[in-house]
Chains A and B, each alone.
Chain A
């Protein structure tokens, strides 16, 4: 399992809005797993964005796309998982260990250079 916690935590601490506005359209985004919830539950990103899930919970979790596009495997506390969304679309995902936990990634077309 990729141990990307430090990088992810550093990114989380940065002003995400400013990053998202960056014309590169590939600024990383973070979903925190905390108290049996994905936070934010719905995240909107530009195509090309790498999304990182960080498990900050006491329980292990998985990040499992309903359409089977991405699947993290078990993430223990402090483990993380990343996936880069190349194309626009909507991706609903859940935790196979706690299937009441659900989340969504909305991928918009990458901003054209302006």
Chain B
């Protein structure tokens, strides 16, 4: 997909026939969603319309995920290149995001040269990046020591932290340590008691009107237990979160967009920047999904998150694949 729909002026009402047809082609792909008041609906078109909306936003940031630098199977032998395409897409956004969040699996195998490459490519966006690790980032023999030394400065426990931006409270949770191995059931992730106690304390004094964004690599709800796509003690965390009026949970790990609404809580897994994975249960096991080369970029992309000024409730989310 060419980038032309990102380039026109966003304020005018020049809707010529060509522009409408461009928008129709985007809309036809069915990948652009916004979530308002907890109900997902198609709304944003990635070009002028979304740009105008984003420009009015109180906070606009981008989520990227699962870059797997070091991966080299035929479905995508060069994940640094597709990550670079995602960064270029961010740079072409008419309303520039305040920062990026990366929801884990930066590297494929927790190696310094893989993180070096990722850092080099992501630096091209010239934005602050808030990282959390995926299980591929803590696969060193010391189980996360290398990641924490590199990315974990100023974090608590085993890498968890919070930050605030434009009145939105961000909570970065780590659920890639201490898996429940699948001896009897599937191996679900855990947050662990120490982190959950910290979370409870962090949230306790905050007014319920504070919009919350939760970042975690593995899904915070059980999408497919047989593949370990869930977090066994997520319910306790959600218990602390549910009194807030707007809670947006952004996850990675499964390399596809799946969404769920539960009261004031909305859950969203993200596309990868490297390769797709099969839909839950649609393959003998999770893992890289082979797709024709010309299809790959339909599965990869970024997510733009917009908190609109003066509007309560969930932010508007716009999924932006590398190709449609």
List chain A positions with a Cβ less than 8 A from chain B. Answer: 35-36, 58-60, 62, 64, 66, 71-74, 76, 92, 94, 96-102
Contacts and interface: CB of A to CB of B under 8 A. Distances in A.
The 6 closest A-B pairs by CB, nearest first: A99-B187, A73-B141, A74-B139, A94-B181, A99-B179, A100-B182
Interface in B221-273: 226-228
B139 A92 contact: no
Which residue among A60, A72, A98, A100 has the maximum number of chain B CB atoms within 10 Å of its CB?
A100
Contact of A94 (B73, B138, B139, B179): B179
A75 to B, nearest CB: 8
Interface stretch (B12-20, B28-36, B46-54, B282-290): B282-290
B143 A76 contact: no
A62 B140 CA distance: 9
B135 A94 contact: no
Which residue among A36, A64, A74, A76 has the maximum number of chain B CB atoms within 10 Å of its CB?
A74
A31 to B, nearest CB: 16
B183 interface: yes
A94 B186 CA distance: 11
Interface string B55-76: 0000000000000001001000
A98 B70 CA distance: 18
Contacts of A73: 110, 139-142
A10 B138 CA distance: 31
Contacts of B139: 60, 62, 73-74, 96-97
13 contacts: A58-B287, A58-B288, A66-B181, A71-B141, A72-B141, A74-B111, A92-B183, A94-B183, A96-B138, A97-B135, A99-B179, A100-B182, A100-B227
Contacts of A35: 284-285
Contacts of B109: 60, 74, 76
Contact of A98 (B110, B141, B183, B286): B286
Which residue among B139, B141, B287 has the maximum number of chain A CB atoms within 10 Å of its CB?
B139
Nearest to B137: A74
Contacts of B182: 94, 99-102
Contacts of B226: 100
A66 B181 CA distance: 8
A99 B228 contact: yes
B73 A60 contact: no
A31 B183 CA distance: 18
A72 B187 CA distance: 18
A36 to B, nearest CB: 4
Contacts of A66: 181
B180 interface: yes
A71 B143 contact: yes
A12 B143 CA distance: 29
Contacts of B140: 73-74
Contacts of B70: 76
Contacts of A94: 179, 181-183, 187
Contacts of B227: 100
B287 A100 contact: no
A36 B136 contact: no
Contacts of B181: 66, 92, 94, 99, 102
Contacts of A62: 139
B303 interface: no
Which residue among A62, A72, A101 has the maximum number of chain B CB atoms within 10 Å of its CB?
A62
B287 A74 contact: no
A69 to B, nearest CB: 13
Nearest to B111: A74
B108 interface: yes
A64 B143 CA distance: 10
